[in-house]
Amino acid sequence: MNRCIKRKSGGVMRISDYWLLEIVQQCQWILKETETSSNHTQNIRAKKILERVRRFLTQVGRGKDFREKLIEEKNRGTLPL
């Protein structure tokens, strides 16, 4: 298993903020690309993953910090034309 994901006892997994952010960005990209067909399998899966991440972040009280990092990551790496 990759070093960024650590398995804990009791079925709990620990994942770093960086990789959680990557998962959220990929899910948002999938939703954007498959927005015309909402019954697309990947679209449904991405919605479920985003809902689970949202519930997790509100449960641990880190939703605001994570949203700020997400906005910061979206602005990173863009070049002016």
Give the tens place of pLDDT for each residue, 42-76.
Answer: 889 999 998 888 888 888 777 777 777 777 666 55
Query: What range defines the domain where residue 63 resides?
Result: 16-71
Counting runs of H as helices and runs of E as strands, what totals does the chain give? 3, 2
Is residue 52 one of the residues assigned to a domain?
Answer: yes
Is residue 1 one of the residues assigned to a domain?
Answer: no
**Averaged confidence pLDDT in the chain:** 76
> Are the C-beta atoms of 59 and 14 separated by less than 8 Å?
no
Which stretches does DSSP call E strand in 8-71? 13-15
Indicate the number of domains in the chain: 1
Q: What is the pLDDT of residue 80?
A: 52
d(CA 63, CA 65): 6
Q: What is the pLDDT of residue 65?
A: 77
Is residue 55 one of the residues assigned to a domain?
Answer: yes
